[in-house]
Amino acid sequence: MFDWLKRRVATESDGTGLGIRGAGESSQATFGEPINVPDLLFAVKREPVAHRVVFTVAHDIFDNWFAVEEVADTPDENFDDQVQAAFSALNAKSVFTEMAIFERLYGWAIILIGYVDHAETLADPVGTPSEIRELAAYAPTQFSVQSNEEDNDPNSPRFGLPVHYTLSRGRGAERVKVHYSRVIHFATRLLDHPYKGLSVLEPIYDDLTVLRNIRWGMGQTLYRYGSGFPDIEIQGATKKQLDEFEASPQFKNLNARTYFLHNEKQKVEFKGLQGRTLDPEPYYVPIMENLSAGSGIPMAILRGAQAGALTGSGVNEREYFKMISDAQSRYEPGLRQLIDLLMEAGQIPQVEEYEINWLGGFEVNPIDKSAIKVNNARADSLREDFLTVNELRARQDPPLDPIAGHDGEIIPGLERVRQAGLSRVFKEVET
List Cβ neighbours of 28 (8 Å cut-off, separation of 6 or more). Answer: 21, 22, 38, 39, 42, 43, 209
Half-sphere CA count of 351, side-chain side, radius 13 A: 23
| Residue 392 forms part of a structural domain | yes
pLDDT at 187 over 80: yes
138 and 155 in a single domain? The answer is: yes
For residue 131, count other CB atoms closer than 10 A to its CB. 14
Residue 287 lies in a domain: no
Q: What's the half-sphere exposure (Cβ side, CA atoms, 13 Å) at 269?
A: 3
The average pLDDT across 51-64 equals: 95
Report whether pLDDT(102) > 70. yes
Contact 95, 184 (CB under 8 A): no
Determine, yes or no, domain membership for 285: no
- 123 and 49, same structural domain? yes
The Cβ of residue 302 has, within 10 Å, a number of other Cβ atoms equal to: 22
Q: What is the 3-state secondary structure (H, E, C) of 249-293?
A: CCCCCCCCCCCCCCCCCEEEEEECCCCCCCCCHHHHHHHHHHHHH
Residue 27 forms part of a structural domain: yes
- 119 and 263 fall within a common domain: no
pLDDT tens for each residue of 222-267: 776 666 666 777 787 788 887 887 787 776 666 655 656 566 677 7
What residue numbers bound the domain in which 241 lies? 227-271
One domain, residues 53 and 110:
yes
Q: Report the half-sphere exposure of 217 (CA within 13 A, side-chain side).
A: 12
Residue 349, CA distances (Å) to 26, 83, 115, 126, 340 in order? 56, 9, 18, 20, 10
Whether the CB-CB separation of 18 and 42 falls below 8 Å is answered with no
Instruction: Quickly state the pLDDT bin for 78 (edges 50, 70, 90).
Output: very high
First to last CA, the chain: 97
Question: Is the whole-model pTM more than 0.85?
Answer: no
In the prediction, which pLDDT does 313 show? Answer: 62
Q: For residues 144 and 257, state if they share a domain.
A: no
For range 7-24, the mean pLDDT: 36
198: pLDDT strictly greater than 80: yes
The rounded mean pLDDT for the chain is: 81
% of the chain beyond a pLDDT of 70: 75
Q: Check residue 371 and give its pLDDT.
A: 63
Asked if residue 181 and residue 76 are part of one domain, the reply reads yes
Choose the final residue of a domain: 335, 358, 381: 358
Q: E-strand spans in 71-226?
A: 109-116, 131-138, 143-144, 164-168, 175-179, 183-186
pLDDT of 423 = 65
Q: What is the pLDDT of residue 225?
A: 64
- DSSP track, 317-381: HHHHHHHHHHHHHHHHHHHHHHHHHHHHTTSS---S-EEEEEPP-----HHHHHHHHHHHHHHHH
pLDDT at 310: 41
375 and 335 in a single domain? The answer is no
Helices (H), 47-167: 48-51, 57-62, 79-89, 92-106
| Dist. CA 188–CA 240, nearest whole Å | 68
Residue 179 has pLDDT above 90, yes or no: yes
Per-residue pLDDT at 55 exceeds 50 = yes
Q: What's the rounded Cα separation, in Å, for the pair 60 and 104?
A: 13
What is the enclosing helix (H) or strand (E) of 223?
A: helix 205-225
414-420-423-429 Cα dihedral, nearest 10 degrees:
-90
Same structural domain, 247 and 348: no
- Do 262 and 372 sit in the same domain of this protein? no
Query: Are residues 137 and 194 located together in one domain of the fold?
Result: yes
pLDDT at 18 over 50: no
- Final residue belonging to a domain, choices 334, 358, 382: 358
In terms of pLDDT, which residue wins out, 428 or 103? 103
Strands 164-168, 175-179: parallel, antiparallel or unpaired by DSSP? antiparallel
What is d(CA 385, CA 378) in angstroms, rounded to the nearest whole number? 13
Residues 170 and 259 occupy one common structural domain: no
Determine, yes or no, domain membership for 309.
Answer: no
Tell which wins on pLDDT, 107 or 308.
107
The alpha-carbon radius of gyration of the chain (Å, integer) is 33
pLDDT class for 309, splitting at 50, 70, 90? very low
In a domain, 417, yes or no: yes
354-375 pLDDT, tens digit per residue, is 999 998 755 555 555 566 666 7
The per-residue pLDDT for range 138-166, each reduced to its tens digit, is: 999 999 999 999 999 999 999 999 999 99
Mean pLDDT lowest among 187-196, 339-348, 383-392: 383-392
Q: Span 7-20, mean pLDDT?
A: 37
pLDDT at 418: 73
User: What backbone torsions phi and psi does residue 118 show, to the nearest 5 degrees?
Assistant: -105, 15
Distance CA 27, CA 269 (A): 37
Residue 56 lies in a domain: yes
Centre a 10 Å sphere on the Cβ of residue 118 and count the other Cβ atoms it contains. 12
In this prediction, residues 42-59 reach a mean pLDDT of: 94
User: Which of 71-85, 167-181, 269-283 has the weakest average pLDDT?
Assistant: 269-283
Total number of domains in the chain = 3
Judge if 131 and 29 occupy the same domain.
yes
| Any domain includes 378 | yes
